[in-house]
Structures are given as C-alpha cells and as structure tokens.
C-alpha cells in the first residue's frame, strides 16, 4: 500500500508569529512552481522551519537513519536560491539553520551528543553571543535557549561562507549569519518554551524589520 506524502507544521508557529503581525504562507515541499508563490503573493520574507534531518548525502556522508526528505531538501534549496535572487530576508530555525549551512557548502555532525558529549534533545543550555554586533543589539552576551536537535554544526563543519554569532559551551554552533546576504539562522525554537522570550522578540523583530543580519537587500515600503 502506497503511503500519502504529508507536510506538517506545528501550530505553535502560526500562533507565535501572529503575535508579530506575521501571516504565514506554508509552501508544500512537492511544489514545482515555487516562483509562482512569490509572483502572485506579496511574500516579504522566508522562514525555514524545524523538522526532520537534512539528507547527509548532500554533504557527502552516509546516512545513519532515513529520517530525511529529498523533496523537502530540494524545495528549501530552491527557496534559498529565490531569496538570494530577490534579496529577501531568510530565517532558519533548527533544521532550517542546518540546511542553510549545508546549502553554502558546510556539513553536519549527525550525532552531536557523540561528537561533543552534550545532549541537545529536549534540554535547556546556555550559549555565548560571540559576535559583537549581535551582543550589542540583543544587550546580552549569554543566553538560555531550548534545544531539540540531534544533528548539529561545529567549527569544523561550518560553511566557510557563514559566520557564527552564538556558540554553546560544548562548541556546537547555535547561531549563524551570512555576511553578504540577509540570511541567518538559530538552532533554538523561539516558538517553544524554555528560552529567553525577550531576546527572541528582539531577534524576530530584527528579522521582520530588516535589522541586525537582515538589514541588507531591498527595503520594504511602509504601509
């Protein structure tokens, strides 16, 4: 019996981003006409959400499990190409940040606990804000974040086109940005409990208002 393909997005995403006046437009991972969304809908920015693993074969490694979707990887690859072309802000959340890293030539640690000795699934931990621009903008150099990922990024697997702005005590990279494009990602989940809500508000407002790492590109017209 053939199983139907399904896309799923936690309802907490819609609830959380509505607080910022954001209307989410979910894009199916099977669409072959992604450009049409941007041509027919006034999309102002893109979020790559959390979810299953990024296919390790994309960075030359053998998968340790089959918890990945080639259709999703292909869709997100096209989305990054579109936002670069249109100079739109892009925010990656957890898996979204991981995919950004892979897209720009980086790789992932498939089991971050084995690599660093620290558990990153359903826990809280601190991160150091290692970029002065982010520390000044956020007003803090150390944050408490939630963590729900088994794959991760370390200094040796980070793309040479990306820069880190948040790093955990075990050396795993928790926040990255692209110095040329308005693209950045975080490994924690702003829409879930267990992290600094005020800091998350500052980050999401920066993303929406094109500040911090999203200030480059075409400015939005004011309503």
pLDDT tens digit sequence for 127-174: 999 999 999 999 999 999 998 887 899 999 999 999 999 999 999 999
Average pLDDT, rounded, for the chain? 90
Selected residue with higher pLDDT from 9 and 72: 72
Name the most confidently modeled range: 51-55, 136-140, 219-223: 136-140
Predicted confidence (pLDDT) at residue 1 exceeds the cutoff of 90: no
What is the rounded average pLDDT of the residues 171-179?
96
Predicted confidence (pLDDT) at residue 69 exceeds the cutoff of 60: yes
Instruction: Determine if the pTM surpasses 0.95.
Output: no
CA 185 to chain centre: 4
Give catalytic residues, as residue numbers.
Answer: 94, 189, 191
pLDDT band for 122, please (50, 70, 90 cuts).
confident
Residue corresponding to tokens 């991981």:
98
Predicted confidence (pLDDT) at residue 187 exceeds the cutoff of 60: yes
Specify whether the CB–CB gap between 72 and 25 falls below 8 A. no
Predicted confidence (pLDDT) at residue 3 exceeds the cutoff of 60: no
- Give exposure, 128-143, as e/b (b: 16+ Cβ within 10 Å): bbbbeebbebbebeeb
Task: State the alpha helices, DSSP H only, in 104-218.
Answer: 112-116, 132-138, 197-209
């Amino acid at each position: 019996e053939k199983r139907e393909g399904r896309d799923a997005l936690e309802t907490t995403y819609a609830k959380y981003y509505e607080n910022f006046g954001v209307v989410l437009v979910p894009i199916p991972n099977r669409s072959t006409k992604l450009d049409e969304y941007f041509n027919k809908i006034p999309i102002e920015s893109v979020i790559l959400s959390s979810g299953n693993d990024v296919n390790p074969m994309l960075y030359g490694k053998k998968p340790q499990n089959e918890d990945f979707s080639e259709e999703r990887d292909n869709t997100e690859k096209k989305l990054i190409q579109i936002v670069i072309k249109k100079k739109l802000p892009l925010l990656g959340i957890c898996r979204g940040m991981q995919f950004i890293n892979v897209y720009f030539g980086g790789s992932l640690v498939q089991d971050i606990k084995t690599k660093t000795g620290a558990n990153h699934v359903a826990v809280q931990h601190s991160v150091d804000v290692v970029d002065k621009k982010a520390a000044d903008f956020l007003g803090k150099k150390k944050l408490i974040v939630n963590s729900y990922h088994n794959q991760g990024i370390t200094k040796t697997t980070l793309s040479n086109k990306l820069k880190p702005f948040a790093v955990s005590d075990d050396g795993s990279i928790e926040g990255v940005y692209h110095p040329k494009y308005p693209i950045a990602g975080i490994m924690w989940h702003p829409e879930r409990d267990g992290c600094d809500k005020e800091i998350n508000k500052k980050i999401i407002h920066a993303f929406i208002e094109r500040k911090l790492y999203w200030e480059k590109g075409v400015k939005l017209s004011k309503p």
